[in-house]
Chain A
C-alpha cells in the first residue's frame, strides 16, 4: 500500500477527538470552515471518555462517561464533520502537512491551521521492578474499567498519588474487584488541605467524596506518605516493598496487579516537531507549549486545546476547545472583534475558576523529592532502551548537562516511545543529582516519526524491475 495524498485541503485539522478536540471542531464547522478531526482511537472521547469497542451493545444500565462520549459523537455527526478515526499521526510539518497511518495505509492531509488537542499521557515515577508485566498505569486502569469494562485482575494494589487513585479504587470496588492496598505519596492532611480548593468545583468534588466514601466503607488499607520501593515476581503474583517516607518503616504486600500513576504529562510531540516554543511549568505537568491567553502557540496558525498546554482537567477541556477555536476564527477574520470578545469573555472567567481546582489537583500530584532519591541505581528508567539510573548518572558524571546530550550518550528516549515514558523521571533524577533547576536540562528535540510507522504502509506497491537503479560509485 502506498502513501495516499489527500488532495482535499482543509481550513483546519483538529488532532485529537477528546472533549476539547470535538468542541473546537464543532465551533469551526458552525462557521462554515472545512474541518477534519483525527484520532487514533475508533471514536470520539479521548482517554477520559474513551468509547467502548464498537461491538459492545449497550443495555439498560448506563455509565456516565459512556453517555458523555455518545454526546460528543452526536455533535460530530450533527455538524457533518469529516472524521479520520483509527489514524495515528506520525509526522506534522509546517505548511501544514499531517501524516498518519491506519491499519492498511499511510495518508497525508493539508490544512491552513491546526488545533492540537492531543491531551496528556501518564506521569509515572519508576521504582525497581516497575517493568514487571503486571505493573500498569493508573490511567490504563481507568481505560480497562470504563471503556473496556474489565476488572484488571482479582486483586490489585493502587499506588502513586492524586485523584486517579480514588477514582480507580471506586470503579474496581463497584465492578466487584478486590483492592489489597492504596499506597499514596500524599498525606491525609494534604488531602484535607486541598479539599477547600477542590470545593470550587462542586460537581467533581461530589464525585471525589463518593469515591473516598466507598474506599472507607470497604475498609481498604490506605498507606499515606508511602511509596512502592521495590517489586519482584513471586509464585503468587507480585511482591511489593512499601516504604513510609516519613517514618522509614517498610511493609511487604503480595498482589496480582499493581497500578501506578503520579499525575499527567501534556503531550508535546507535535508542538516539539513544529519547533514551537515551550516552557516548563511543574504545576501544569512539566514541559508545555507556550501559549498566549487565547491559546495561540508561538507558531502562526497552531492553536492548543485541552490539556496539551497545561493540565486543567476534563471539565475545562471543552471550554479550552471553544477558546482555541474562537481565536482561530478571529485570526482568520471569520468572526469580528466584537463576537470574539463576547465569546471569550465568559470562557476566560470560567477557566480562571477551574484554575483553582486544577492547582489543588496538581499539588496532590506533586512528586516528592524523596521518591526520586529513593530510586535504586539499578532501576531501568528508559524502558524502550533498558537504560538504568546509574547509566544516566554516569553520562552526567562524564559531562552531559542537557537531556539531549544524555540521549546521545545513553540512547535514553531514542526508542519507540520517543521519551514519553521516561523524559520526566530522567530529568527529575538528573536535576536532583546536579541540584539543578529542571528546566536547565531542556527537553527532547521533537523527531518524527512520533509513533513507530509500519514499513509496509509507506513502501508502496512496486515491482523490483521498475525501480530505477543507479550505478554504484567507482571505488
Chain B
C-alpha cells in the first residue's frame, strides 16, 4: 500500500536515494523523515545513554529526535527535502 495521498497534488520526478547503502525510490522534494517512515525505516538513531532506538516524533524541528547522517553530517531529517542520489545513514552512527 502506497501511503502517499495523491488527491490534491502531483509529486515531482521519481529519484533514487540510498539509506545504509540500500536503494529507495522517492519523489524529489518530499520530506526525508516521512520517506524513511513510510518505507518502514523507523529506527533512525540511538539514544545517548540507554542506546534505545529513536525515530521521528514532532516533525516541526523542535524535538531533534529524527537526526540522521547525510554525507556524514548530522541533520534533522524532518527539515530535509529529497534530492536525487542523497546518501543517508541511520542507526548506530555515533560509534
Residues of A within 8 A of B (CB): 40-42, 47, 52-59, 61-63, 66, 88, 121-122, 131-137, 139-140, 143-145, 148-154, 175-177, 380, 383-386, 415-417, 420-421, 451-452, 454, 456
Contact = CB atoms under 8 A, between A and B. Distances in A.
A149 B6 CA distance: 7
A150 B44 contact: no
Given A66-B8, A122-B58, A153-B3, 7 more contacts: A47-B60, A55-B27, A62-B8, A136-B55, A136-B56, A383-B47, A421-B63
Contacts of B38: 150, 152-153
A421 B58 contact: yes
B75 to A, nearest CB: 8
A436 to B, nearest CB: 27
B59 A137 contact: yes
Q: Which of A41, A131, A136, A452 has the most CB of B within 10 A?
A: A136
Contact of A454 (B11, B52, B73): B73
A43 to B, nearest CB: 12
A57 B63 contact: no
A383 B44 CA distance: 14
A149 B4 contact: yes
Interface in B13-29: 27-29
Please provide the 9 A-B residue pairs with the shortest distance between their CB atoms, ordered closest to farther.
Answer: A55-B29, A133-B55, A140-B59, A55-B12, A386-B49, A133-B42, A416-B64, A56-B9, A53-B29
B42 to A, nearest CB: 4
A175 B4 CA distance: 9
B64 to A, nearest CB: 4
A154 B47 contact: no
B58 A140 contact: yes
Contacts of B48: 384-386, 415
Interface string B45-82: 00111101111111111111101000001110001010
B21 to A, nearest CB: 20
Nearest to A260: B57
Contact of A154 (B3, B42, B49): B3
A137 B30 contact: no
Given A133-B42, A133-B55, A140-B57, A55 B50 contact: no
A136 B57 contact: yes
Contact of A421 (B27, B50, B59, B62): B62
Nearest to A142: B59
A42 B8 CA distance: 19
Nearest to A63: B8
B50 A380 contact: yes
B12 A451 contact: no
Nearest to B37: A152
B43 interface: yes
Nearest to A388: B50
A383 B7 contact: no
A67 B34 CA distance: 23
Contact of B79 (A40, A52, A133, A149): A40
Contacts of A53: 29-31, 81
Contacts of A421: 57-58, 62-63
A351 to B, nearest CB: 25
B50 A139 contact: no
B94 interface: no
27 contacts: A42-B81, A47-B60, A53-B29, A56-B10, A57-B12, A62-B8, A121-B60, A131-B52, A133-B42, A133-B44, A135-B57, A137-B57, A139-B58, A140-B58, A143-B60, A145-B5, A149-B4, A149-B6, A150-B5, A152-B3, A152-B37, A152-B38, A383-B54, A416-B64, A417-B65, A421-B58, A421-B63
A302 to B, nearest CB: 21
Nearest to B9: A56
Contacts of B43: 133
A56 B11 CA distance: 5
B11 to A, nearest CB: 6
A417 B73 contact: no
Interface in B77-92: 79, 81
